[in-house]
Amino acid sequence: MEADFVIVGAGSAGSALAARLSEDGQHDVLVLEHGGTDWGPLIRMPGALSYPMNMARYDWGLKSEPEPHLGGRVLAAPRGKVIGGSSSINGMVYVRGHPRDYDHWAEMGAAGWAGADVQPYFERMENWDGRGEGDPDWRGAEGPLHVTRGAREIPLFDAFIRAGAEAGFELTEDYNGEKPEGFGPMEHTIRNGRRWSAADAYLKPALGRANCRLHRCLARRVVVEAGRAVAVEVERGGRIERIGARREVILAASAFNTPKLLMLSGIGPGVELAAHGIDIVADRPGVGANLQDHLEVYVQQACTQPITLYKHWNLFSKALVGAEWLFFGTGPGASNQFESAAFLRSRAGVEYPDIQYHFLPFAVRYDGKAAAEGHGYQAHVGPMRSVSRGAVTLRSSDPKAAPVIRFNYMSDPSDWRDFRHCVRLTREIFAQPAFAPYRGAEIQPGPDVRSDDELDDFIRAHVESAYHPCGTARIGARDDSMAVVDPECRVIGVDGLRVADSSIIARITNGNLNAPAIMVGEKAADHILGRPPLPPSNRRPWISPRWRESDR
């Protein structure tokens, strides 16, 4: 078995790669994926998002090592083990990231990846429906990825946005458009009331072509001969097979499994490889380093009116919601319920937003395992640009062994300062007149948690990952010793091998990472095919004229 291009991973970036590399019919593309089908109501129903990411059928089940700055807590690190990858189990939130984020990539050596360079790729991938709102000039209308907005029928969604304005912050009609700062509607990858994953948008249409195939197997390593990647060694049904790549192997296996595969293939820190008895093909110390993520806490408030999603927190109502969604594609099950958002600056002197809010008209954990007693609402809030860095390393040379994941969360004093500010800022927003008709007692952290030490204890015990791991095969200049791939996504030191997924992210972007991961697949495909990049955009994002003097 062989193909021109062998892609490891059928997730967000891998699906986009498969579609773009096969669309002209000139190249044979083979996608390798360990996970199974994405069909099933718990994946397809947006309102059921808390279930698939906690199911062994769909999730790799990875966990962090005990986090030293979080009291030794072990945090879940879900990644999709299913067609569509994490786009099939995520929260479906769609955020491009701020153009300045990508400018920073370019400054770090990723030439051709500035905000103006990636803007046309976001436009190419989008099929955007802004419900009559937003910035159509900044958005794509003919791409495969459907991006929509919720109806915001529960009045709390509007209250959150009005409260932001009352607190003196900006409003925005489209944080993915010209003005990526302020309070406004949140966007999601949902179509006709159903999850619209990268598999739906890209992979499934591509598999209808004769030159694109999907192979279910476990990738064990990349075979490198005479300095060139020539095959992928896989396991299927207890047998070891070798799948040849006539042109290139492309890794798109996640920020955890991509560096793991590189190291199993002899590409990574020499000392690490030698410790596991792996022959060194390319000594790249950046493989597995630079691990980043977003953390968030939930600030919860009781609601004095019975208008929240708590009214559906019983078996009878859940059955009705499921039936309405199944037969009509409507109702609470047709939304991820993240329908209002905010991107804010934490203080004067910060040029563009570094805080993200998801607002939810329900007081519940993200995994759905615990709900507050009674009606409530909550804000998921956290800083976007922590300076803490972790690493992914090998547990052993056994390809079936999970990698060692150390995020090193909250290792810098600035993280604690920023999180305390996020909690206090949320309290300020919830105290605005817009919430007066609904505001009950604070549920979490609780009215007695006030001092820095008390807030730190709360943060240490309750902070959670937003599930945005990235950066473990960083893009950069070829002479950068910590870069893993060059600006065309080629692995430095090995021919015929590229990485195109969230691993290459140089510094984490504002917000959720599904959109940037898909964009990476889109742009990498042009590099792989030798096509000239799309012309850079001449649009520039709105930057607050008061950013030097004020946070609002």
Cα distance between residue 79 and residue 88, in whole Å: 10
Cα distance between residue 21 and residue 487, in whole Å: 18
Cα distance between residue 341 and residue 152, in whole Å: 11
Question: Active site residue: 375, 380, 468, 527, which one?
Answer: 468
Judge whether 104 counts as a catalytic residue. no
Nearest to 6 by CA among 252, 265, 264, 262: 252
Cα distance between residue 443 and residue 419, in whole Å: 18
Cα distance between residue 69 and residue 99, in whole Å: 32
Contacts of 314 (CB under 8 A, 6+ apart): none
Please list the alpha-helical segments (H only) found in 225-362: 254-264, 270-275, 315-328
- The answer on whether 118 is annotated among ligand-binding residues is no
Instruction: Determine the 3-state secondary structure of 191 from DSSP.
Output: strand
Instruction: Determine the 3-state secondary structure of 321 from DSSP.
Output: helix
Q: Are 47 and 333 in contact (CB under 8 A)?
A: yes
- The answer on whether 82 is annotated among ligand-binding residues is yes
Q: What Cα–Cα distance (Å) separates residue 402 from each residue in 33, 154, 283, 399?
A: 16, 42, 22, 8
Q: Which amino acid would we find at residue 215?
A: H
Instruction: Determine the 3-state secondary structure of 234 from DSSP.
Output: strand
- The answer on whether 90 is annotated among ligand-binding residues is yes
Catalytic residues: 468
Going by the annotation, the residues of the binding site for FAD are 82, 90-93
Going by the annotation, the residues of the binding site are 82, 90-93
